[in-house]
Amino acid sequence: MITSRRILGLAALAALLPGFALAQQTQAPPAWAQGRPPEMANSRLAPHPPRLTVTPPERVPVASLRLPEGFQAELWAHGLPGARVMVRGPGGTIFVGTRVIGRVYAVRDTGSERQVSILLQGLTQPSGLAIRDGALYVAAINRILRIDNVEQNLANPQPVELTAAFGLPEDVHHGWKHIQFGPDGRLYVPVGVPCNICETDGERYALIASFNPDGSDRRIEARGVRNSVGFDFHPRTGQLWFTNHGRDWAGNDNPSDTLHVNLRRGEHHGFPWCAGGFQDPAVPRDRLCSEFPPPALILGPHVAPIGTHFYTGTAFPERYRNALFIANRGSWNRERLSGFNVVVVREVEGGRLIQEEFLSGLRDDANQRFLGRPAGLLTMPDGALLVSDEENGAIYRITYRGR
């Protein structure tokens, strides 16, 4: 446990900052105010409102998308407000998770068109989906469900309740999750911190854990992870690569969001003391950045990486094979917008990682507004890459046709 000053009311918080707020007890100030320096007390920055209504296809900004030479984008599916993560069932159904609108969609490709239906609704932020043996696993904030033979039961899914077996915290803040099966057949489930910056029980929060598919045998895979909502396993090494969101209210350019490779089980990645080389001034210097493995890559301030996905197809040119694509949903806690794009992370000489912008055009720098928010990524059997746009409830299909 770290020692810290205990700050009870918001008024006290304003007087004492920079300080460090305790969050595991209920007296904590709201996440919105934690770690906020006095000079930012009256900042007007606030999260962007979610769009929960259908965007008609002619309003989906597919024509604005920019890709490297030889690539093209088409509107593959629309009418799925809040579309985020995408997974593919063995029968070819694409399942799509959401947050605020509480739905899980099923998309069937009839060849000429995509049919969208609502598989589940009324859930609290079902943003985590995973497929195994024909069953769909759904992670909402307060529940884990499994639907066996889901593609045979699209019209009448019968969820099996696994919530108690997994026994996860129910905190709403940063409680929305990404889930995925590892090459070891275990289900990987992150638990973010229920705050912006706080002291938490590091065995329960700020981690990525793995479980047997039935929720038994919990094991901590990574510690000190503030909020990861995207990860994947390297196609060759099987290593866990995850992205992480840096905290808010530490300035326009601090800290950066990061990409990490979990080299050892249980490894500590720095929260709350250190984020991507940034020693957090609001946290007592009990531990230093030098004590933690550095991130594999600094992604940029407030870009908000969501989809974190190795491209496993062969239809894209050689340099993209097994490369990591990251969908950046984009910033709110920054005066000038950042993110709202898809980047690709590649290994160059000496094993060094670099990132290049892959999909852009959704961030309008001149007018400081955005047209869409990339969220989920999925390689299709034909080597196309699907990209979901949460803002427009749409899915783009990216293909390569050569120069």
Partner 1 sequence: MAARIVLAAALLAAAFSFPAAANPAAEALIAERQCVACHGPAGVSAVPLTPSLAGQQADFLALQMILFREGLRQVPAMAEPVRGLTDQQILDIAGWFAAQPSAPKPDRGPRDEALARRGAELSAARNCNACHLTDYAGRANVPRINHQREDYLVHSLTQYRDNLRVGADTQMNGLMHGLSNADIRAIAHYLAHRD
For ligand HEC, the binding residues (CB under 6 A) are 32, 46
CA distance 228 to 131: 20
The residue from 55, 227, 243, 331 that contacts partner 1 (CB under 8 A) is 55
Question: Rounded to the nearest whole angstrom, what is the least distance from the CB of residue 172 to ligand HEC in the complex?
Answer: 13
Segment lying near partner 1 (by CB under 8 A), choices 53-61, 212-220, 247-255, 266-274: 53-61
Q: Residue 61: helix, strand or coil by DSSP?
A: helix
CB 239, min distance to partner 1, A: 34
Is 220 one of the binding residues for partner 1 (CB under 8 A)?
Answer: no
Between residues 32 and 289, which has the closer beta carbon with respect to ligand HEC?
32
Based on the shown chain and the rule CB under 8 A, indicate whether residue 173 belongs to the binding site for partner 1.
Answer: yes
Name the burial class of residue 52, with classes exposed (0-12), middle (13-18) and buried (19+) by CB atoms within 10 angstroms of its CB.
middle
Minimum CB separation from ligand HEC for residue 373, in Å?
Answer: 18
112 binds partner 1 (CB under 8 A): no
* Residue 244 and residue 228 in contact, taking contact as beta carbons nearer than 8 Å: yes
CB 351 within 8 A of CB 357: no
Sequence-distant (6+) residues with CB within 8 A of 202 are 223, 224
Contact 216, 260 (CB under 8 A): no
CB 194 within 8 A of CB 182: no
Query: Rounded to whole angstroms, how far apart are CA atoms 214 and 162?
Result: 7
Should residue 6 be labelled a site residue for partner 1 when binding is judged by CB under 8 A? no
What is the SS3 assignment for 202? coil
Long-range contacts of 27-36 (CB under 8 A, 24+ apart): 28/195, 28/198, 31/173, 31/194, 31/195, 31/196, 32/196, 34/195, 34/196, 34/197, 34/198, 34/249, 35/196, 35/197, 35/247, 35/248, 35/249, 35/250, 35/280, 35/282, 36/196, 36/249
Work out which of 4, 18, 24, 33 binds partner 1, going by CB under 8 A: 33
- Verify binding: residue 52, partner 1, rule CB under 8 A: yes
When asked if residue 56 is in the footprint of partner 1 (CB under 8 A), the reply is yes
Distance CA 50, CA 84 (A): 12
> CA 172, CA 168: separation in Å to the nearest integer?
12
Decide: residue 128, CB within 10 A, 0-12 exposed, 13-18 middle, 19+ buried. buried
Give the C-alpha separation, 277 to 268, whole Å. Answer: 14
Question: What are the Cα distances from residue 347, in Å, to 9, 47, 198, 297, 344?
Answer: 48, 34, 34, 11, 10
The site partner of 11 among partner 1, ligand HEC, none (C-beta below 5 to 8 Å per kind) is: partner 1
Nearest residue to ligand HEC by CB is 32
Q: Establish if 402 lies at the interface with partner 1 (CB under 8 A).
A: no
Three-state DSSP class for residue 42: coil
Under rule CB under 8 A, residue 83 binds partner 1:
no
Minimum CB separation from partner 1 for residue 225, in Å?
21
246, 302 in Cβ contact below 8 A?
yes
Output 53 or 216, the one with its CB closest to partner 1. 53
Residue type (1 letter), 128: G
- Told to check if 158 binds partner 1 by CB under 8 A, we report yes
Site map 331..370 versus partner 1, x via CB under 8 A: ----------------------------------------
| Minimum separation from the CB atom of position 42 to ligand HEC (A) | 11
Stretch of residues binding partner 1 (CB under 8 A), selected from 51-59, 184-192, 282-290, 395-403: 51-59
Cβ at position 153, least distance to partner 1 in Å? 9
**Interface pick for partner 1 out of 79, 97, 224, 300 (rule CB under 8 A):** 79
31 binds partner 1 (CB under 8 A): yes
Question: How far apart are CB 50 and partner 1 at their closest, in Å?
Answer: 6
Residues 226-245 that bind partner 1 (CB under 8 A): none
The binder of 346, among ligand HEC, partner 1, none, by C-beta within 5 to 8 A per type, is: none
295 or 330: CB nearest partner 1:
330
Is the preceding peptide bond at 255 cis, omega within 30 degrees of 0?
yes
> What are the residues binding partner 1 (CB under 8 A)?
9-11, 14, 26-33, 41-44, 46-47, 49-50, 52-57, 59, 78-79, 81, 100-103, 115-124, 154-159, 172-173
